């Protein structure tokens, strides 16, 4: 096989590997961002529960103070029963006391409901907090794995790029420039294989019989007449 063609094939293998590694490296920041986003959402859920529990606690204190006021008002009204001077006033005070009793009953029901809600929220906060702590620890482990993988990818990238650059220096500058131009224009594939199907491995167009003969001999550079990629003959496995 022509030495320059062999170099082009190897260069293509390097560039394909580099593209794959760069893709892996590009995914890592997105994976880390997704981990952080999921953790932030879990934190938001916990914060919302805590805020609701705090609001419920404040509402309960307010209702308890209101109940104290109603209780005092009832005691005051009941004391007035001993001060009234006729049945009309007596009936009016009794009606007032009944209204206060109903108000007190509603307040007690609201307080009971708030106490039950407060107890349930306390349980929810504890359970959600425990799940968040576990999730936070898992997020740290997951991020560490991603960063470790990213470091390995970057290390391999450095090695492959160095090997690629060393191999590229073996090509004449015009040929290397042409290869890199095709690589960019053709989606990262500048060198394509041709097998017994007799089609370009890049664009899938048929290769002329004469070009096939040249490819089989491997003594010169051949390009696809359709896509312009460099071609080489690949023996069937």
- In tens, the pLDDT along 147-164 reads 999 999 999 999 999 999
How much is the pLDDT for 53? Answer: 96
CA–CA distance, 85 with 155 (Å, rounded to integer)? 99
CA–CA distance, 13 with 163 (Å, rounded to integer)? 11
Which stretch, 80-84, 155-159, 194-198, has highest mean pLDDT?
A: 155-159
Please provide the average confidence, as pLDDT, over all residues in the chain: 93
Assigned token pair, 124: 């929810």
User: Cα–Cα–Cα angle for 105, 108, 114, nearest 5°?
Assistant: 145
For the ranges 43-57, 165-179, 203-217, which has the lowest average pLDDT? 203-217
How much is the pLDDT for 213? Answer: 87
Burial 219-231 (b: 16+ CB within 10 A, else e): eeebbbeebbbbb
How much is the pLDDT for 235? Answer: 81
Does the structure show a pLDDT above 80 at 218?
Answer: no
Write down the domain spans for the chain: 3-171, 175-233
Give residue 23's pLDDT band: very low, low, confident or very high (50, 70, 90).
Answer: very high
How much is the pLDDT for 138? Answer: 96
CA–CA distance, 135 with 47 (Å, rounded to integer)? 15
pTM: 0.74
Provide CB contacts within 8 A for 50, sequence distance 6+.
Answer: 125
For the ranges 123-127, 128-132, 218-222, which has the lowest average pLDDT? 218-222
Does the structure show a pLDDT above 90 at 211?
Answer: no
Give residue 237's pLDDT band: very low, low, confident or very high (50, 70, 90).
Answer: low
Does the structure show a pLDDT above 80 at 226?
Answer: yes
CA–CA distance, 34 with 143 (Å, rounded to integer)? 10
* Residue, of 159 and 217, whose pLDDT is higher: 159
Question: Candidates 3.40.50.1370, 1.10.1200.10, 3.50.50.60, 1.10.287.1490; correct CATH number of 3-171?
Answer: 1.10.287.1490
């Amino acid at each position: 096989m022509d030495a320059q063609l062999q170099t082009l094939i190897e260069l293509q293998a390097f560039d394909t590997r580099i593209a794959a590694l760069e893709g892996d490296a590009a995914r890592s920041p997105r994976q880390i961002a997704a981990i952080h986003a999921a953790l932030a959402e879990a934190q938001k859920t916990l914060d919302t529960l805590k805020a609701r529990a705090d609001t419920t606690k404040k509402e309960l204190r307010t209702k308890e103070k209101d109940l104290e006021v109603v209780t005092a008002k009832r005691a005051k009204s009941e004391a007035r029963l001993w001060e009234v001077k006729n049945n009309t006033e007596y009936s009016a005070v009794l009606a007032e006391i009944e209204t206060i009793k109903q108000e007190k009953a509603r307040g007690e029901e609201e307080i009971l409901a708030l106490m039950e809600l407060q107890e349930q929220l306390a349980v929810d906060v504890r359970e959600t907090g425990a799940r968040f702590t576990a999730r936070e620890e898992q997020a740290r482990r997951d991020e560490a794995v991603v960063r470790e993988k990213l470091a390995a990818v970057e290390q391999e990238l450095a090695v492959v790029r160095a090997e690629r650059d060393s191999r590229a220096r073996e090509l004449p500058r015009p040929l290397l420039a042409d290869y890199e131009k095709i690589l960019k224009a053709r989606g990262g594939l500048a060198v394509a294989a041709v097998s017994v199907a007799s089609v370009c491995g890049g664009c899938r167009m048929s290769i002329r019989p004469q070009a096939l003969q040249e490819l089989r001999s491997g003594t010169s550079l051949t390009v696809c007449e359709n896509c312009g990629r460099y071609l080489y003959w690949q023996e069937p496995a």
